[in-house]
Amino acid sequence: MKCIIEGLSGAPMLCDPIKAANHLKYAEKYGVIDGVLDMFFNPVVKPYVTQGGTGVVQLSGFLAMGLTKFEKMTGASDMGEIGEQIDELLANPAVKRIAFEIDSPGGTVVGTPELADKIASIPLPTMSYARKLMASGAYYTGSQADYVYASPSAVVGSIGVIAVDESYEEAFKNMGIKVEVFRAGKYKSPNIGGEGYTDEQREMENETIEAMHEEFKETVLRKRSMASRDDMEGQVFTGREAASKNLITGLASSFAEALVAFEQDA
């Protein structure tokens, strides 16, 4: 509560300060400060069930595991919670099929293969849809639905893995700073303190990234068997291009349109 008040007094915030101030004003007026502010700053997107019996789960923003309330406030999605939402829908006898509405650039490797496997193993018909963005980890998971739709102008793909690290070895040398690292195990904590990588450490890191990439491609091909490995080298495609390359099932201008097709076909 203190940090919110400080934020409204001029400290940096990751939300619209005018809306925050309005929520604070009405919360104070009606005596429900913590409840209203929690709803505003930590909105929970819950799954819902359509009249046709389709359970809908939303994946948006950065995807990761074990997110804090602050991280979810900025729009990220916790993959562990997505898995729990799937379980809730599967336990609901009114749910005949499950659809995923996706708008995400992807996220961490940790948690993504497990969520992809969970989606692939759902015993009901499944569909995923992207109106704007289904890339990297979001495509990793979304590709595991039985039907995958996107708008013609959506961004789809980015089948690859990337890791970025910064070495300050040369900068330290120019400043006359020498980093001393004492380690047991030549692969232990490479580039700690910005010391740089040995050739062996660099090769190990590359092998790890390549293995993750291969697992990504194998997972996609499990459901999208007609897709080509040539299109799985980090490229991004429009929805129309992705459909022509068999990376998705087809096109739909909106989630509602995709949902109609899904409920008719499944």
Reply yes or no on whether the pLDDT at 1 is more than 50.
no
Reply yes or no on whether the pLDDT at 260 is more than 50.
yes
User: What value does the mean pLDDT take over residues 237-263?
Assistant: 97
130 versus 192: the higher-pLDDT residue is: 130
Helix or strand holding residue 5 (H, E): helix 2-8
What proportion of the chain, given as a percentage, has pLDDT over 90? 62
Reply yes or no on whether the pLDDT at 153 is more than 90.
yes
In sign, the C-alpha dihedral spanning 165, 170, 172, 177 is: positive
Reply yes or no on whether the pLDDT at 128 is more than 90.
yes
CA distances from 57 to 27, 48, 70, 81, 260 (A): 30, 7, 21, 11, 16
Reply yes or no on whether the pLDDT at 151 is more than 60.
yes
Specify the range with the lowest mean pLDDT, choosing from 6-10, 129-133, 242-246, 258-262: 6-10
* 51: confidence class by pLDDT, cuts 50, 70, 90: very high
Question: Contact, 85 vs 164, CB < 8 A?
Answer: no
Reply yes or no on whether the pLDDT at 139 is more than 90.
yes
What are the residue boundaries of the structural domains of the chain, listed by start? 1-41, 42-163+202-265
User: What value does the mean pLDDT take over residues 31-43?
Assistant: 49
- pTM given for the model: 0.80
* 67: confidence class by pLDDT, cuts 50, 70, 90: confident
Which CATH number does the domain 42-163+202-265 belong to among 3.40.470.10, 3.90.650.10, 3.40.190.150, 3.90.226.10? 3.90.226.10
Tell me the per-residue pLDDT of 20-31, one tens digit each, with 9 for 90 and over: 455 445 545 545
Residue 110: which residues within 8 A CB-CB, separation 6 or more?
64, 65
Reply yes or no on whether the pLDDT at 180 is more than 60.
yes
Residue 32: which residues within 8 A CB-CB, separation 6 or more?
none
Helix or strand holding residue 54 (H, E): strand 54-64
The number of beta carbons lying within 10 Å of the beta carbon of residue 67 is 20
Reply yes or no on whether the pLDDT at 111 is more than 70.
yes
Residue 25 is predicted with a pLDDT of: 59
Distance CA 220, CA 71 (A): 28
Q: Across the chain, what does the average pLDDT equal?
A: 85
Specify the range with the lowest mean pLDDT, choosing from 61-65, 74-78, 117-121, 158-162: 74-78
